[in-house]
Amino acid sequence: MQHFLPHFPPQLWPPAASGMAAEIDAMFAAWSIVLFLLVAPVFAFMGYCAFKYRAGRDVDRSHREARNLTIEMSWMIIPFLISLVFFFWAGDVFLQEQTPPPDATVITAMGRQWMWKFQHPGGQWEINDLHVPVGQTIRVNIESQDVIHSLYVPALRLQQEAVPGRTTQLWFKADRVGAYRLFCSEFCGADHALMAGTLYVMSPTAYQAWLEHANNRPTLVSGGRQLFDGYGCSGCHTPGSATRAPWLAGIYGHVVPLQDGSTVIADDAYLRASILEPAKQIVAGYRPIMPSFAGAISDADLASLVAYIKSLSAGNEPAP
Amino acid sequence: MSPSDTTLRDLHVPTPVIDPPDDYLHVEQTLSSWIFTTDHKRIGLLYLVSITVFFLLGSIAAGLIRLSLIVPDGEIFSNDIYNRLFTLHGVIMVWFFLVPSIPNTLGNFLLPLMIGAKDVAFPKLNLLSWYVFVLGSLFTMFVMIWGGVDTGWTFYTPLSTEYADSYVIAAVLGVIVVGFSSILTGLNFMVTVHKLRAPGMTWFRMPLFVWSLYATSMILVLATPVLTIALILLFAERALGLAVFDPANGGDPVLFQHLFWFYSHPVVYVMVLPGMGVMSELITAFSCKRVFGYKFIAFSSLGIAAIGFFVWGHHMFYNGMSPYAGLTFSLMSFIVAVPSAIKVYNWAATIHKGAIRLDTPMLYAMSWIGLFVIGGVTGLMLASTALDGHVHDTYFVVAHFHYIMVGATVVAFLGGIHFWWPKITGRLYSEPWGRISAFLMFFGFNMTFFPQYLLGYMGMPRRYHVYPPSYQVLNVLSSAGATMLAVAYIFPMIYLIWSLWYGERAGDNPWEAKGLEWTTTSPPPKHNFHHMPVVDFEPYDYPNIAPEK
Amino acid sequence: MSGTVGIKVEEHFHSAEQQRETARLGMWTFLLTELLLFSGLFITALVIRVQHPTSVTAVALHLKFWIGATNTAVLILSSFSMSVAIELSRLGRQRLMLRFMLLTAALGAVFMMLKGYEYYRDYVEHMMPFLPYRSYELAADPASRLFTNLYFITTGLHAIHLTIGIGIMLVMAWLASRTGFLQQHQNRIEITGLYWHFIDLVWMVVFPTLYLLNR
Amino acid sequence: MDAKLKRRLRTPFLTMLALLVLLGANVLLGSLFTTGHAWIAEVLIATVMVATVIVVAMEAHKEPPVIRLFSGVGFFWVAILFALTMVDYTTR
């Protein structure tokens, strides 16, 4: 409970990292002011009347009207016309958002339960985090492998859902270097809240350096750790999870007792087989509830996962 | 005791004969007279009890959600429990509380009274509707508490059809069944208004609450079947393998959302319209003045019900829908705000030069207008396409619809219950406690949900049980407000129940309000009126000059 | 003769006429909900047709067009028989009306049998993609599954409605087998008739939607 | 069969004939044209059939105005559902 003491001072306005974000802030502010002007008089008037015309007070109540067509038509039409300004303003920005410029750098975002995988034009990929250069138009082609997700970056004031079977798009031109939050905003299952990362807006030189720097490509083990979350393994294979599944730390190279009384040594082949066809060799004391990942996982991902499981030594808690 | 008294008693003077009360509450007292009743007033009370139970359950889930969000790292509940909690909260509150809340309790009780009828058009269907509701909702409750459903109340495919590892099939079946109850009630009300009005009760002599109930029923009848079919398709896909939305085969999950929101947006007006109807009654009664612009308010109810069917896509701007469809739905959403604005301005004009009594129902009414307007204008912001791109699926949306659904529906429900409590039970509740609760409600509500607007604009997505620590202060504030809100719910439950035994007798018309329901006794007799009314007066015919106090 | 036909007025109505109109309006309102229910399926069909036109044609060519057409004719006949029963009920000729109601139900049963045979043919011809143990004729065209599935859902839902209709018809026939039924409840025959005609109407839209267009 | 009954059965009988003829036309169209724009004619014929059932077989034309309204108004809502959904699918 180290976070029980709230974080002070609270942040009350999100950072804006693009021109469009600034425009949406302006729209929000202008809308708020206009709506306040439309609404506040009504509240003030009601408060005033509730006070002035309290029952029992001796005030002038003559000339009471039960209807007045002019007044009613005017307060029907005038606020509507004012609000239409915002329909057109917002619609204009919306259409801009929906039509990416042709010269944009294209990054592919793949959403799956519960991670984002971003692929850069040069083939570099990263999990949950996205590095982009400042001042350059970026188009993100968004896809989903399973359910509907939504790529949301508050600092860009922008989101776009990832719909399985289709490619949707989102584009932006970040104009401020910094690290900004990135979320999945469409509920996508158990670890929806963990499907979050960081958008790094970098200077072009730093971005180039990042692209070239080998360390930025995840190693087999660190990539595997993220896949362990990404494929949902950690949902069950974690101490204290609601679904009972064996915890895998230190399992590699040890003898595992099976349901049918036999035993097996947990080597690479066993780990692979257990992921692809879990029902074949059930560990004693557990139920055969794990789904098969055959066909759902690429060989490269499988290798990373196995490497990660091997790296877990006994007693080692999973890295947070 | 004086000797003369004893002698009198010994003389067997007959004790005075008191007529047993013949009101609907006392006319029969057996259990079967309640559970097999076809009296719309008793059915209204059956609904009142059932939805109160569901409201309590839903509130407990809400309380646990707020408890969990006090800390940012999700240490209190695991992801699965949290997801099941908000799904439970959503499903209960939408289908088992908000949709039936005002129409099926106050509406059932008052509709025939207000139009001078002996009962609704189909009393047996009315009872059947309650049974269907109870069976469907208890079944769903059982499933959701013992098994759990973790898709959110929106059941979006393909999460609900393929990926969710929970009891979606059973929950969906339960919701389909409850839908039939809505359809039966809506059907009953529409036909009742058309065919059972008392002699002289023309359309423009009907109370505005009846207009709003009619508009509500229209939505229930026309929208609920589309939810039913959407859920049937979902059920077929998940349970029978008859996939229609499956993206793996080229199906379109967005189509499910179209069908779902074709129901689920209009159903927001099912929650709000009856609240607006209650407001019209409360504001005129406590201003002691004829309502301003009767026809505008009446037609705006129908307008909301009709235009409400054109706006569903504003839930879907950023889900890959065509941007042109997005703009169409955005424009329609701006238009649907017009009739709501008319009502608010007209109520303000009604108060002008009235004789205002700030009793409990009026306090609820005033706070209703405040909350509804805030919820409404933020709705306009959400309907602005580009702005929605930032706050869609964040706490901004959560705050917005709670201002509408709790701020407008629950507050109106409580206001209406307080207003008609003397008619329903024949008793008066404690006025000071009522006022305290109304104030607590207003402040507790704002403290709970206003911070969520800020959180939303800050970018906190909804349905997160783990969130970045910088959002914590506002979350703690919101949770603190929720405790105040809980107290504001518990108080009325206590003093209203207390009043059943110890409350002062109300008399027929404690508020000196107008309307047919106040012309009969409190509580009304079994067939509502001792003499069937003939209507030869206009609605809300309050004296032109306020009564002298 | 028509003097023997009527409605027993229930307590909360003023007159028989009011009760009659109330009942009819109630049934029409209910039919509104049925219309919206099925239109949810029709819009789904339209969307699938727009998104996968060739797959839909491929499926439509595998559907049993002639059985569908025959079934439409059967339902038109049953509607006629229902209309005759209603006219007879208005004339108070209870026994003859009873026979026509049974005829209506029988025609409904014929529809169901043809439907069952159609499903059987679908099974034999491997047109049931939702059966996990059975191969699917159009497996090379995944999008065709959507329309095939929708075909089963739509015809299945219609069959459920028709079964309910047959059930109501039989119950009504049983009630009408007692003397004096039409003196008290002539209304019910008309209401039942409305429902029956509507089920017929739904099929008249289902048939072109699934079998006919662009086959 | 007496004359009165015969007179009353004329409308239902003619309705049935009309529906069967329309169905025949539709079946003919369906078996002759598998592509092209025959679907327009087919949809029109189906619409006429539906209208016939509502107006004549279900006797909407004999009903009071409110029922006539109800018999038609549902199609308006169906039109909303279709029109606005298709706005999406035709402009994607």
Domain ranges of chain B: 39-518
Residue B393: partners with Cβ closer than 8 Å, 6 or more residues away: A150, A152, A159, A185, A186, A187, B461, B462
What pLDDT, on a 0 to 100 scale, did the predictor assign at position C71? 96
Distance from C-alpha of B374 to C-alpha of B450, rounded to nearest angstrom: 10
Residues from chain A contacting residue B337 (CB–CB below 8 Å):
80, 83
Which residues of A fall within a CB distance of 8 Å from B394?
A: 152, 154, 185
What is the reported pLDDT for A236? 78
Is the CB of B71 less than 8 angstroms away from the CB of A67? Answer: no
Give domain B39-518's CATH number out of 1.10.150.570, 3.40.50.300, 1.20.1250.20, 1.20.210.10.
1.20.210.10
Give the pLDDT band of residue C191 (cuts 50, 70, 90). very high
Predicted confidence at residue A285, as pLDDT, reads: 73
Nearest to B258 among D85, D90, D92 (CB): D85
The Cα A118–Cα A139 span in angstroms is 12
> Nearest residue on chain C to D41, judged by CA atoms?
C213
Mean per-residue pLDDT, C138-156: 94
What pLDDT shows up at residue A252?
79
- In sequence order, what DSSP letters do the residues of chain D get, joined into one string? --HHHHHHHHHHHHHHHHHHHHHHHHHHHHHH-SSTTHHHHHHHHHHHHHHHIIIIIT-GGGS-HHHHHHHHHHHHHHHHHHHHHHHHHHH-
Q: What is the distance in angstroms between the CA of the first residue and the CA of the last residue of chain C? A: 52
Q: Do chains C and D touch (3 or more CB pairs under 8 A)?
A: yes
Q: Which of D84, D89, D90 to mutate against chain B (most B CBs within 10 Å)? A: D84
| Beta carbons within 10 angstroms of residue A55's beta carbon | 17
| Out of B123, B226, B240, closest to residue C130 by CB | B240
pLDDT band for position A3 (cuts 50, 70, 90): very low
Examine chains C and A and say if they touch (3+ CB pairs below 8 A): no
For CATH 2.60.40.420, the residue range(s) in chain A are 15-40+74-217
Mean pLDDT of C174-181: 90
Contacts of C200 in chain D (CB under 8 A): 53, 57
Task: Output b/e per residue, C118-134; b: 16+ Cβ within 10 A.
Answer: bbeebeeeebbbbeeee
Give the C-alpha separation, C128 to B304, whole Å: 44
Minimal Cα–Cα distance from C160 to chain B, Å? 13
So what's the pLDDT on residue C2?
A: 43
Yes or no, beta carbons of A71 and B349 under 8 Å apart: yes
Give the range of the structural domain holding residue D22, as residue numbers without chain letter.
1-58
Average pLDDT over residues B378-402: 95
The answer to whether the beta carbons of residues B123 and C12 sit under 8 Å apart is yes
Mean predicted confidence (pLDDT) in C78-105? 94
- Which helix (H) or strand (E) segment holds residue A170: the answer is strand A168-173
The SS3 assignment for A143 reads strand
Q: Assign B143 to helix, strand or coil.
A: helix
Select A220-311's CATH number: 1.20.1050.10, 1.10.760.10, 1.10.357.10, 3.30.530.80: 1.10.760.10
Q: What pLDDT is recorded for position A318?
A: 42
> Does the pLDDT at position A315 exceed 80?
no
Coil vs helix vs strand at A202: strand
The minimum CA-CA distance between C105 and chain D, rounded to whole Å, is 17
Using a pLDDT cut of 90, give the percent of chain C over it: 79
Q: Does B249 touch chain C (CB under 8 A)?
A: yes
Asked if the model's pLDDT at residue A6 lies above 70, the reply is no
- Please state the φ and ψ torsions of residue B548, each to the nearest 5 degrees: -75, 140
The torsion angles phi and psi of C126, rounded to 5 degrees, stand at 60, 40
Residue A58 backbone dihedrals phi, psi, to 5 degrees: -90, 90
Tokens matching residue C52: 């996968």
Give the residue-averaged pLDDT of C205-215. Answer: 89
Q: CB pairs under 8 A, 24+ apart, for B33-41?
A: B36/B127, B37/B127, B38/B119, B38/B123, B38/B124, B38/B126, B38/B127, B39/B119, B39/B123, B39/B526, B40/B108, B40/B109, B40/B111, B40/B112, B40/B119, B40/B120, B40/B123, B40/B126, B41/B108, B41/B109, B41/B424, B41/B523, B41/B524, B41/B528
Looking at the partner chain, which of B320, B344, B353 has a beta carbon nearest the beta carbon of A161?
B320
Chains that touch D (3 or more CB pairs under 8 A): B, C
Per-residue pLDDT reduced to its tens digit, A62-91: 777 777 888 888 888 898 999 999 999 999
- The minimal CB distance from C40 to the residues B118, B226, B252 is found for B226
| Alpha-carbon distance values, B222 to A79, A111, B277 (Å) | 30, 37, 20
Point out the least confidently predicted range of A2-16, B201-215, B408-422, B458-472.
A2-16
| One domain for residues D33 and D54 | yes
Please indicate whether, in this complex, the C-beta atoms of B225 and C132 are within 8 angstroms of each other: no
What does the pLDDT read at residue B546?
47
Q: Which CATH class is domain C33-212?
A: mainly alpha
Please answer whether residues A183 and A14 qualify as being in contact, where contact means their C-beta atoms are separated by less than 8 angstroms: no
Tokens found for residue B30: 């057996």
CB contact under 8 A, B312 and D84: yes
A66 three-class SS = coil
Indicate the average pLDDT of chain A: 84
Q: Could B262 and D91 be called an inter-chain contact, meaning their C-beta atoms sit closer than 8 Å?
A: no
DSSP letters along B115-128, please? HT-SS-S-HHHHHH
> Any chain B CB within 8 A of the CB of A304?
no
Q: Which of B245, B251, B282, B281 is nearest to B156 (CA)?
A: B245
Other chains touching B, judged by 3 or more CB pairs under 8 Å: A, C, D
pTM comes to: 0.89
Residue A116 has pLDDT above 90, yes or no: yes
Task: Reply yes or no on whether the pLDDT at A294 is more than 80.
Answer: no
| Cβ-proximal residues to B242 (8 Å cutoff; 6+ apart), any chain | B236, C130, C149, C150, C152, C153
Mean of the pLDDT values across residues A1-9? 50
Task: Check whether D75 has a pLDDT greater than 80.
Answer: yes
Q: What percent of chain B has pLDDT over 70?
A: 95
> Best mutation site among D6, D16, D33, D73 for testing chain C: the one with the most C CBs within 10 Å?
D16
Chains contacting C (3 or more CB pairs within 8 Å): B, D
pLDDT digits (tens, 9 = 90+) for B326-364: 999 999 999 999 999 999 999 999 998 889 999 999 999
CATH architecture of the domain A15-40+74-217 equals Sandwich (2.60)
Nearest CA in chain A to B369: A43
Q: Which residue of A has its CA nearest to B296?
A: A72
One-letter amino acid of D62: K
Inter-chain residue contact B328 with D84, CB threshold 8 Å: yes
Q: How far is A267 from chain B (nearest CA, A)?
A: 30
- Using alpha carbons only, what angle is made at residue B343 by residues B338 and B348, rounded to the nearest 5 degrees? 125
Residues of chain D numbered 22-61 and touching chain C (CB < 8 Å): 23, 26-27, 29-31, 34-35, 39, 42-43, 46, 49-50, 53-54, 57-58
Report whether B260 contacts B154 (CB < 8 A): yes
Rounded distance, CA B519 to CA B516, Å? Answer: 5
**DSSP per residue over B260-320, as a string?**
HHHHHTHHHHHHHHHHHHHHHHHHHHHHTSPPTTHHHHHHHHHHHHHHGGG-GGGG-TTTT
Task: Name the pLDDT band for A16 (thresholds 50, 70, 90).
Answer: very high
Whether the bond into A154 is cis, omega within 30 of 0:
no
Among B125, B123, B120, B96, smallest CA distance to B110 is for B120
**Which chain A residue is nearest to residue B324, measuring alpha carbons?**
A95
Q: Do D89 and B322 touch (CB under 8 A)?
A: yes
In whole angstroms, give the CA distance from residue B99 to residue B223. 12
> Tens digits of per-residue pLDDT, D39-67?
899 999 999 999 999 999 999 999 999 99
Q: What is the mean pLDDT of residues B83-97?
A: 95
Is residue D35's pLDDT more than 80? no
Interval A193-222: pLDDT, tens:
999 999 999 999 999 888 887 445 556 677
Q: How many CB pairs under 8 A join B and D?
A: 34
Bridge-based pairing of strands A137-144 and A105-112 is: parallel
Cβ-defined contact of B324 to D85 (cutoff 8 Å): no
Give the mean model confidence (pLDDT) for residues B421-442: 95
Minimum mean pLDDT among A18-22, A30-34, A184-188, B3-7: which range?
B3-7
B216-240 residue pLDDT tens: 999 999 999 999 999 999 999 999 9
ipTM score assigned to the predicted complex: 0.90
Same domain, D36 and D78: no
Confidence of residue A239 (pLDDT cuts 50, 70, 90): low
C53 part of contact set with chain B, CB < 8 Å: no
